[in-house]
Structure 1
Amino acid sequence: MSATITAADINKLRQTTGAGMLDCRKALTESNGDFEAAIDWLRKQGQKVAAKRSDREAKEGVVLANTTADNKAGIVLCISCETDFVSKNAEFVAFAQGIADAAIANNVKTAEELNEVSVNGAKVADLINDKLAAIGEKIAISRFERIDAEFVASYIHGANRMGVLVGFNKPAAEAGKDVAMQIAAMNPLAVDESSIAPETIAREKDIAIEQIKAEGKPAEMAEKIAIGKVNKFLKENTLLAQPFVKDNAKSVSDFLKSIDADLKVIEFKRVALG
């Protein structure tokens, strides 16, 4: 005998899962009114949608950066989706914020660990799957980064389109946001020259030498000119050597020294959409 499916049952399932009314009605019908089985049915449908959309690029989404109350750790993550219509939706932003809050509250260190965290009795992976089924777009934790340091500053730029974390060797509340904004604007590759892989520097030098030779300059000049080009590359692409965006007359290194001679950037993470 088929169970009677009421409007209240359908509404309850909608509120719990975020799925559409017709999908909820079908789920309850397929599960003969069993609420938990209906949730499982919807999740299975979501998994099928995920499989169908596995080749779709999710270039939109919400980027969030946050730190623990004591600023000893921070996370930056991207909950990706396919369209800006979804990413700009207040409900989706709140959904992403809930996941970011759970990451901080549960001291999460990896995306895999975050997927297993429970939020209001459901795993994050299942919540994402339910949201996917409800809106019909590919949704995933596409990036997750974490920093542990004596002091971690966070910064979100451009309506949740970019997030930055910066780890310092000591408290840096005043400098933290300024350095994070520098990273957001100038996108450095590394903290300093020692943080850039030797093969990257060697590659830049080889490219410069070939460019110089192609210009017809003597081989004996190529090495010297190439070194200058590499130095320019390092100045443009290492955080501490970059001109400080708020005062181009000084470098980021100079700025930090003006705050505290012993203040150092340990590492940073930058996550951006697109």
Structure 2
Amino acid sequence: MKIQISSHFVKELRSKTGAGMMDCKKALQAADGDMAVAVETLRKRGLASADKKSTRLALEGLINSYIHTGSRIGVLIELNCETDFVARRIEFQQLAKDLAMQIAACQNVFYVSINDIPQNIIDREIRIESAKEDIFNKPLQIKDQIIKARLEKRLKEISLMSQPFIKDQNISIEDLVKQHISLLGENIKVRRFQRFLLGEALDMI
């Protein structure tokens, strides 16, 4: 016999995951009312369906801006989706605002994803890590493993999609975008962004 799930509990799960009401109710019933288990179940399903949509063209969307308190930091971001209908959805517009705020808060982030980082930047980071004194006397195999781990950590630090979401540290920006793909039923892509710091020099990373 399925347990009874209150509408308030279902709405709370929907708020956490962006999944449909019936999906939330079924997930809670299957989890015997355990919110954490239901969230995990829906995220697995949502991310799987989002992955299928991630290859579709996203040419619509919007450009959004965020100006931090004090007007010393500003961000412009272009967020793409497949249709103008989804671009007008409040959830899509809120996602754009959240991403712009995230970029303002993460001033070491310069690229959308690790795949967007130029090879010359990767080569430079490898040279920097290879020259560090703490690995000079280590065996070559160990040294290579350390450099690889440090490089991966550094590349994640400068890519937006790898960042923990500032409003929920349990998910990454990539997960956040995939949740919205599942919720809205369209591919969503962060195409580009630009951060402006008052008085900042023009040279970047």
TM-score, normalised via structure 1 length: 0.48
Instruction: Tell me what 1:213 maps to.
Output: none
CA displacement, residues 121-180 of structure 1 (integer Å, 9 cap, x when unaligned):
2433332222222221112323234456725xxxxxxxxxxxxxxxxx6xxxxxxxxxxx
Match of 2:128 in 1: none
**Residues 1:130 and 2:176 are matched in the alignment:** no
Which amino acid counterpart does residue 185 of structure 2 have in structure 1? Answer: G
Preserved contact between residue 102 and residue 117 of structure 1 (Cα < 8 Å): no
Aligned to 1:119: 166
Give the whole-Å Cα distance in 1 for the aligned partners of 2:174 and 2:105: 17
Matches within 5 A, 1:148-187: 150-151=199-200
Cα shift at 1:51: 2.2
What are the equivalent positions in structure 2 for 1:41-80 lying under 5 Å apart? 41-66=41-66, 74-80=74-80
Take 1:97 and 1:66, find their aligned partners in 2: how far apart are those partners?
7
Which amino acid is 2:186 matched to? E
Change (3 A) 1:40 1:72: same
Residues 31 and 129 from structure 1, CA distance in 2 versus in 1: closer, same or farther, beyond 3 angstroms? farther
Structure 1 62/40 Cα, relative in aligned 2: closer, same or farther at 3 Å?
A: farther
Deviation for aligned residue 1:56 = 0.6
Once the 2 structures are TM-superposed, how far is the Cα of residue 3 of structure 1 from its aligned partner?
4.2
Equivalent AA in structure 2 for residue 50 of structure 1: A
Deviation at 1:67, TM superposition (A): 5.3
Long gaps (5+) in structure 1: 152-168, 170-265, 268-274
Letter in 2 for 1:84: D
Relative distance call for 1:136 and 1:65 in structure 2 (3 A) is same
Q: CA deviation at 1:23?
A: 1.5
Q: Is the 8 A contact 2:14 2:21 kept in 1?
A: yes
SS at match of 1:97: helix
Counterpart of 1:237? none
Cα deviation per residue 1:17-48 (whole Å; 9 max; x = unaligned)?
A: 22211121122233332211211222112222
- CA distance in structure 2 between the partners assigned to 1:49 and 1:109 by the alignment: 28
Identity rate, percent: 32
- Per the normalisation by structure 2, the TM-score is 0.62
Please list, as runs of the form range in 1=range in 2, the aligned pairs for 1:216-231 lying within 5 A after superposition.
none
Describe how 1:258-273 pairs up with structure 2 within 5 A.
Answer: 266=202
Query: Larger deviation: 104-113 or 61-70?
Result: 61-70
Q: Residue 145 of structure 2 aligns with which residue? A: none
The root-mean-square deviation of aligned C-alpha atoms, in Å, is: 2.9
Note if contact 1:19-1:131 (Cα within 8 Å) is conserved in structure 2.
no
* 1:71 Cα offset (Å): 6.5
Paired residues, number = 155
What is the alpha-carbon distance in structure 1 between the residues aligned to residue 66 and residue 5 of structure 2?
43
Structure whose alpha-carbon radius of gyration is higher: 1
